[in-house]
Amino acid sequence: MRKVAVVGAGMTRFGKWMDKNLKDLGREAVEAAMKDAGVDKPAIEAAVVGNATAGLITGQEMIKAQVILRDMGFGDIPMINTENACASSSTAFHLAWLYVASGMYDCVLALGVEKLYHEDKTRSFRAIGSAVDLTAIQELMAAAAARGREKAEGGDGGSGAGEKRSMFMDFYAASAREHMKRYGTTAVQFAKVAVKSHKNASLNEYAQYRETYSVEDILNSPMVAEPLTRLMCSPIGDGAAALVLCSEEKARQLTTKPVWVTASILGSGKDRAPGEPGVTTRMAKKAYEMAGVGPDDLDVVELHDASAPAELIEYEELGLCKLGEGGQLIEEGATEIMGRIPVNPSGGLLSKGHPIGATGCAQLTEIVWQLRGECGDRQVKGGNAKVGLTQNGGGMMRGEAAALTVHILER
């Protein structure tokens, strides 16, 4: 396999863009990435586009890559559409990496784009709620109804899951309660994760929400599913992010500061034996082995914090600390921008935003910028970060992510 470099990265600001469509958002991100790379359209030999919900939100179920890129003047080249729920565009990046690493192409575009906002907000949440085994959910609901219960077990029993909010918050809440019971983690520690994320986003011009909050603000915001409050949950949003990947020879021609992709891992959840590690731990182990590094070598991490408890639990799953010590890590400030191992300096999904099909490429874009020392006030390690990791999960089945990617980048 050949060495692969990222030579260009660009994204839109994440937000509520009712006046923009997939083409508008995709064009902005792609043009920014190509300008950053210093390449024109003829240099791009293939494109992989990640999107999760356009079919359910806008009706554009098929040929999304072709619809978005054709109007930009791209033609003839292979265009692949990837859908892996929230991991759609990190999957696109993985395939783009594979195209270059295999020697098939020298310059490939990866794009993630999503529009989640719609006049009918229930449509948005129903779309997100399709990232589960719907047959299993329907069977569970039918069994619960047969027993005369209004709600299936596993949720918080509150109204609105899947209609007025994402049902995934009920899953995250259940995981949070289990972690609290097993390790003594507190709601205050979860709130401190959210405080950190909002503070980081205030420094990021691409973030959807840039307000800062105190622990008290987080805890006193409306309850979604115990112990999750609204400010502990990622929002819906619109946006796009794109990256240009090249072979080593091509990269040397384009830039003096390439960012190398030293690990690209895509895996899926499975039925586990008791005590067997979850999918994040399993895929992270493969990524560390592929890159020849370990958790202690990481200088910056962008991980899938769809909820504040998810970030804290993923500290442990990625090996940033031991099991049960995620609360201690946030208490120590280790994951702050100026900490030992900065996590989500972009603001993460919680505050930067979570247009789900764009999230994976946005995480990778942040790591590229961090490793190049281009993040201004949110720059980690004084601009000397050398190794960064992204973790991005998509969908959920039987208690863990249905699809999951881990990437390691180095400068």
Provide the pLDDT for residue 157. Answer: 42
Provide the pLDDT for residue 164. Answer: 58
Selected catalytic residue, list 354, 361, 375, 407: 354
Let me know if residue 319 belongs to a domain: yes
Let me know if residue 246 belongs to a domain: yes
Provide the pLDDT for residue 121. Answer: 81
Q: Which helix (H) or strand (E) holds 376?
A: none
- 267: which strand partners? 404
**Residue 365 near residue 28, CB atoms below 8 Å:** no
**The domain spanning residue 315 has which CATH number?**
3.40.47.10
Backbone angles phi, psi at 103, to 5 degrees: 95, 0
Provide the pLDDT for residue 144. Answer: 54
Catalytic residue check, 407: no
Catalytic residue check, 86: yes
Q: Which helix (H) or strand (E) holds 223?
A: strand 223-225
Let me know if residue 170 belongs to a domain: no
Burial class (CB in 10 A: 0-12, 13-18, 19+), 83: buried
Provide the pLDDT for residue 155. Answer: 43
Residue 261's contacts (CB-CB under 8 Å, 6 or more residues apart) are 4, 5, 6, 97, 101, 245, 407, 408, 409
Let me know if residue 125 belongs to a domain: no
Range of the structural domain that residue 83 is part of: 4-119+235-410
Let me know if residue 199 belongs to a domain: no
Look at the chain and report how many structural domains it folds into.
Answer: 1
Let me know if residue 200 belongs to a domain: no
Eight-state DSSP code of residue 307: B
pLDDT in tens, the chain (411 residues): 999 999 999 999 999 999 999 999 999 999 999 999 999 999 999 999 999 999 999 999 999 999 999 999 999 999 999 999 999 999 999 999 999 999 999 999 999 999 999 988 888 888 888 888 888 767 666 665 666 654 444 444 444 555 555 678 888 999 999 999 999 999 999 999 999 999 999 999 999 999 999 999 999 999 999 999 999 999 999 999 999 999 999 999 999 999 999 999 999 999 988 889 999 999 999 999 999 999 999 999 999 999 999 999 999 999 999 999 999 999 999 999 999 999 999 999 999 999 999 999 999 999 999 999 999 999 999 999 999 999 999 999 888 999 999 999 999
Let me know if residue 56 belongs to a domain: yes
